[in-house]
Structure 1
Amino acid sequence: MELSIYEKLHHVQLAIPADSEDQCRSFYCQILGLIEIEKPEVLARRGGLWLKLGGSELHLGVEKDFMPARKAHPGIQVADVAALAEHLKASGYDVEWDDAIPTLRRFYVFDIVGNRLEFLEPI
């Protein structure tokens, strides 16, 4: 059954360990340049942080028995994937290029707590 009620992806959530918000801010805000969004007060007490990602959001939520997502990942489309890869490498992060999809130029990188991220650009 096809439903026509879906409009867009609002957010994706990744887990982070307790007390890692400052490290994550450093990576996501300073290295990647995302903007932190203020969480509602009732949710802010739980820890974590929310980030603006184009027209969507990326939520980083504290998970008690944290294990990084090594396979599952968000795919984030960017305007200049090569420039982002160079920026990440210059910032000390390893990028892994993947040419398995001929219509996309893409790479993977692991965030500061070990979660896998994919950045891509249509060719």
Structure 2
Amino acid sequence: MTSTLNVCALALTCALVPAILTAAPAAANEKPAGGGCPWAQDVKLDLNGKTLTLNQEAFSAKGEPLDLEGYQIFPLLDQLKLRILGPRGQEWEAGLTRLSGGKRCQAFYVGKPFQVSDETGDRNSLILVR
């Protein structure tokens, strides 16, 4: 029985090797998104029915907020949080997951945002400002 399994394994290997070898040149010609980081991809946020799309450049270490369709987005990389301030003073928070590999490959995934403040009045009373 062991010899039968060995023969089957050998036959399966011989069948798969040509398929893998023919796929390798095509994959080598394709450039991964994000400048060489295979998991650098756009992130979508759903904020009460409004969908915002962030690219990985939004998570740069500049520390400046990003303005996107009336929303201010604050990537707090040291806390692994994403704070979002809505146009009417609403505030959301989402957790970040940092993925890295090698010296230059870094990407962030964003968890589901949850609303932490729904104030529509004084912007100075928001959690982000405190």
Say whether the fold is shared (TM-score over 0.5).
no
Larger Rg: 2
TM-score (norm 2): 0.24
* Structure ranking higher on relative contact order (CA contacts 8 Å, 6+ apart): 1
